[in-house]
């Protein structure tokens, strides 16, 4: 880690259940080791009935960075993940 600073941006996909999903965050240094835990929790504020033989898909992306990142860069990264460009391949 350059200059002792790095981080991660956690991104949830727009089609995920209960998007934008609430986060569950545990207190920093909970176990006196400096750990911090976070995860998306789509059922934190509403129920989700899972039915047998039904497929459920949740998509996530993590942007791990060295140094600092600003709000605009983080939001741009999420936007390009959530709404990728449409590409058409034409064979000649």
Q: How far apart are CA 7 and CA 24, in angstroms?
A: 18
Which residue, among 70, 66, 12, 67, has the nearest Cα to 41 in the 3D structure?
12
Beta bridge partners of 64: 8
**Any idea where the domains of the chain sit in the sequence?**
2-82
Number of helical (H) and strand (E) elements in the chain, helices listed first: 1, 4
What is the per-residue pLDDT for 58? 96
Report yes or no on whether pTM surpasses 0.85: no
What's residue 2's pLDDT? 64
**Cβ–Cβ under 8 Å, residues 16 and 48:** no
pLDDT the model gives residue 28: 72
CA distance 87 to 75: 22
Q: Give phi and psi for 71, each to the nearest 5.
A: -60, -40
Low-confidence ranges of the chain (pLDDT < 50): none
CA neighbor of 9 nearest in space, from 85, 79, 83, 84 = 79
Q: What is the pLDDT of residue 78?
A: 96
């Amino acid at each position: 880690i350059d200059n002792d600073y790095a981080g991660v941006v956690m991104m949830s996909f727009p089609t995920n259940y209960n998007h934008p999903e609430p986060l569950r965050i545990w207190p920093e240094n909970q176990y006196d080791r400096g750990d911090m835990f976070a995860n998306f929790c789509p059922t934190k504020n509403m129920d989700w009935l899972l039915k047998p033989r039904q497929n459920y898909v949740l998509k996530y992306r993590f942007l791990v960075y060295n140094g600092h990142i600003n709000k605009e860069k983080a939001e741009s990264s999420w936007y390009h993940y959530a709404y990728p460009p449409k590409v058409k391949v034409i064979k000649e």
